[in-house]
Amino acid sequence: MDTGQPVPESVSVVLGCGGRSLQVIHTDLKGYFQFTLGAGAQSNAVYSADSNVSMSTAGNGMQMPDMGARGLGTSQNVLAGCEVRVSIPGYQPLSKLIVDHPDITGIDVGTLHLARVAGVMGSSISVTSLQVPGGARKEFEKGDNDARHNHLDSATQHLEKAVAQYDKYAAAWNALGNVYSANHQVEKSQQAFEKAITADPHYIPPYLSLANQELQDHDYLLAVETAGKALELDPSIGPANFIQAIGNFNLHRLDAADKSAQTTEKGPHTDMEDLHALHAEILMQKQDYPDAAAQMRAYLKEFPKGRFADQMKDELRQIEASAANSDSKPDPAQLPIAP
């Protein structure tokens, strides 16, 4: 951090090549991270909302270049032109171009320094995490590690101990809320997210966690409102705009949904696989067929085997066919878009 301290919370780090995210992992609670090359897709990304890839499906199906028997000690740098990226609300985006050749120990990208964005109130790193007593922090570290390995019962125990020792531990409350949510304990998860917000009103992750929970519960009005509170803290948060696009679409507020989708597309969004499909359906509902077709083509270009690929192809064929017959109009079918 710009204070000279390592990040006190886990943040997402992306390995990207050619505009695509190949792997998404998280740092440990001392700021260290390591990608494993040649091991296929790798991801420990979670919906903790700590970064602009928190809605991501990156790492689920992407393959790293096969290092094969050559290992890392090759003279050919298969990662030339790739970069390591960190993009978290409240801080300036970081990117580190990979130019070094790998050796037997790998590639050391050095230390990445986070700097706050001037004038932005919100942050994805809570000030309360800088004031945590040692015992509470150790419980948080254990709970965080258990949650990443899907040991939810032990994660719950450690995180509950962390907040019992330090009630203002916003990051621990947010992590506990995510574990409760994974265990389908909706009421407890909402209470934990609200505790995190009370502990640190400028801490962005619990707003996004809560908004995601509200989307899953089909409480679209609350989801839009909660995401709006995150955007008040930092208007550049892509996932918050995406949540508002989904919520407003399901509330049949098509103009608002269109605006939110456009805003999301202006920032990094290659990890939001459903974005172009959602925007296409918004425009179909508005009977803006040319722009809807453009969104469908963008989706199929980026995700030719995506979960909505067949539907996009069918609707695109309808639009193209209707161009020859002005009396016929495509039949828009609402997508089951969910976080």
Helix (H) / strand (E) containing 23: strand 20-26
What phi-psi label fits residue 10: left (phi over 0), alpha (psi between -120 and 50 degrees) or beta? Answer: beta
Q: What is the pLDDT of residue 296?
A: 96
Tokens standing for 24?
Answer: 């998404």
- Rounded to two decimals, the pTM is 0.79
Q: What is the pLDDT of residue 312?
A: 95
Residues of the chain with pLDDT under 70: 38-77, 324, 326-339
Q: What is the pLDDT of residue 99?
A: 83
Q: What is the pLDDT of residue 242?
A: 96
Q: What is the pLDDT of residue 293?
A: 96
Domains of the chain: 1-122 (no CATH), 125-203 (1.25.40.10), 209-339 (1.25.40.10)
3-state helix, strand, coil split of the chain in percent (to 5) is 45, 10, 45
Q: What is the pLDDT of residue 59?
A: 30
